Amino acid sequence: MTCYRNSVKCMLLLFFMGLAALNTYSYWRDSLNVNILNTSMHPDVTVEQSSITPFQCPFEPWNQVHSDIVPNENLHLEWIQNNISRRDNILESQIRLLSSSVYLDHISITTNSQRSYGQKVYCRYYNCLREEISNSSYQSIFFPMNVIRCPRRIGVKYMSISFDSEEIPQEPIPLVYRVFEAPIHEVSVCVGPIYGSESKWLEVAEFIEHYKLIRVRYFYFTVFNMNEYSRKIIDEYLRTGEIELTVIQSEYKTIDWQFHLLQINECHQRSKHHSKWVINVDIDERLVILDDEIKSVGSLLSSYNDTVAEVGFAIRRIQKTEKLPEKYESDEQIFFEMEFLKYNVSSPITWGAYKTIYRPVKVP
């Protein structure tokens, strides 16, 4: 615990000292247009233009795939008939597109819908100019819950949906590049959704730095709402390229536990083919390795062969009795308020609501 305390102290001190310096330039930096998240990992392709020839979208090597089937579609239809994974919630919300990811053999679109299970929907494909590609639409279904899976089309850069082939589709969203033959991250974390009025700046920093101590290097965050001060921490980790962020807009003032299902499905689509293993935990949960011989989560998981899809961990609940601090005041405040050091009244170890580390590619 002493080693952990000293390591976290040093990392958090360095982080907040850097953040304090950066805040001096907040007005200057806020005036710039910063491209926070680059989802295109492929090399640039140049297409020659002239004053006579109209611009033509480039077709990169990875983007020259056409398919007419979706993997496991028949299996999913069977599951729909048996109501497997069905959840009906937020029945009156407006359907919004959250993200769209392109893989080697298909494209997935995630939405904020929890009321469209098994419903027919059309995939709509767009080129780099956000112009719909002619004769390209495909009738698919919502499964699981808020996800639509579509076959590949050549030259696609944006995706949308409609419930009728003649209907005006929603505003298209860009593809997230996931055409990797092998994952580029060994272990990442899907962080449970962040919402509510409580300030999260210290909790976010402590969470990330804790997992970095056990060699986790990438994090997928989902935010429903967050105050401006806490958002500065998220922006700093975005700047360093250590996290991806999905912001879910909702007309609901109160967020309940079923909104976690949106985050789980969306994060699964983002992490598939991008991370080999994913830890599913909330922002106030810590994975602790008690064996001193095991220095990282990756070394722990390396002992499992490729047939293993999920590893479960028992839990111990810690009682939290106070709210998190609103803003940074001093280094002493950080040491005193870090949750993992401040609270130690715990329950017995149990397998109820146990936590998992799983391999996204193993989910059909």
- For residue 320, pLDDT over 80 is answered with yes
* Same domain membership, residue 266 and residue 344: yes
User: Which of residues 242 and 91 earns the better pLDDT score?
Assistant: 242
User: Which of residues 316 and 206 earns the better pLDDT score?
Assistant: 206
Please report which confidence band the pLDDT of residue 257 belongs to, taking 50, 70 and 90 as the band edges: low
CATH number at residue 105: 2.60.40
* Same domain membership, residue 231 and residue 142: no
Last residue of a domain, one of 177, 195, 216: 177
- For residue 19, pLDDT over 70 is answered with no
Last residue of a domain, one of 113, 148, 177: 177
Torsion angle in degrees (nearest 10) through CA of 131, 134, 139, 144: -30
Partner residues linked to 132 by β-bridges? 126
Does the residue 310 lie in any domain?
yes
* Same domain membership, residue 186 and residue 172: no
Does the residue 52 lie in any domain?
no
* Same domain membership, residue 288 and residue 336: yes
pLDDT recorded at residue 230: 93
Does the residue 36 lie in any domain?
no
Q: Give dist(CA 121, CA 177) in Å, integer.
A: 23
Cα–Cα nearest to 324, from 245, 234, 218, 230: 230
pLDDT recorded at residue 85: 76
pLDDT digits (tens, 9 = 90+) for 198-250: 899 999 999 999 999 999 999 999 998 888 999 999 999 999 999 999 998 77
Please report which confidence band the pLDDT of residue 40 belongs to, taking 50, 70 and 90 as the band edges: very low
Please report which confidence band the pLDDT of residue 55 belongs to, taking 50, 70 and 90 as the band edges: confident
Please report which confidence band the pLDDT of residue 289 belongs to, taking 50, 70 and 90 as the band edges: confident
pLDDT recorded at residue 6: 55
Does the residue 93 lie in any domain?
yes
329, 359 contact by CB (below 8 A): no
- For residue 341, pLDDT over 80 is answered with yes
* Same domain membership, residue 195 and residue 70: no
SS3 content of the chain, % helix, strand, coil (to 5): 25, 20, 50
Residue with tokens 């080697």: 104
Give the domain range for residue 157. 63-177
* Same domain membership, residue 338 and residue 193: yes
Partner residues linked to 315 by β-bridges? 350
Whether the predicted model's global pTM rises above the 0.85 cut? no
pLDDT recorded at residue 346: 83
Q: Give dist(CA 304, CA 281) in Å, integer.
A: 21
Residue with tokens 């806020």: 30
* Same domain membership, residue 356 and residue 208: yes
> Taking residues 95-99, what's their average pLDDT?
91
Weakest-pLDDT range from 24-38, 158-172, 173-187, 261-275: 24-38
Structure tokens at 137: 């639409």
Overall number of domains in the chain = 2
Q: What is the DSSP letter of 263?
A: H
Weakest-pLDDT range from 125-134, 249-258, 317-326: 249-258
Last residue of a domain, one of 147, 177, 207: 177
CATH number at residue 310: 3.90.550
* Same domain membership, residue 334 and residue 218: yes
* Same domain membership, residue 188 and residue 105: no
Q: Mean pLDDT in the chain? A: 84
359, 277 contact by CB (below 8 A): yes
pLDDT recorded at residue 274: 96
pLDDT digits (tens, 9 = 90+) for 130-187: 999 999 999 999 998 889 999 999 999 999 999 998 889 999 999 999 999 999 999 9
- For residue 54, pLDDT over 90 is answered with no
Does the residue 191 lie in any domain?
yes
User: Which of residues 241 and 116 earns the better pLDDT score?
Assistant: 241
* Same domain membership, residue 160 and residue 283: no
Q: Is residue 11 exposed (0-12), middle (13-18) or buried (19+ Cβ within 10 Å)?
A: middle
Does the residue 223 lie in any domain?
yes
pLDDT recorded at residue 27: 42
pLDDT recorded at residue 15: 54
Does the residue 188 lie in any domain?
yes
Does the residue 74 lie in any domain?
yes
| 221-to-2, 93, 161, 242, 246 alpha-carbon distances in Å | 29, 22, 25, 10, 6
* Same domain membership, residue 230 and residue 165: no
pLDDT recorded at residue 29: 44
Please report which confidence band the pLDDT of residue 255 belongs to, taking 50, 70 and 90 as the band edges: low
* Same domain membership, residue 269 and residue 284: yes
- For residue 25, pLDDT over 60 is answered with no
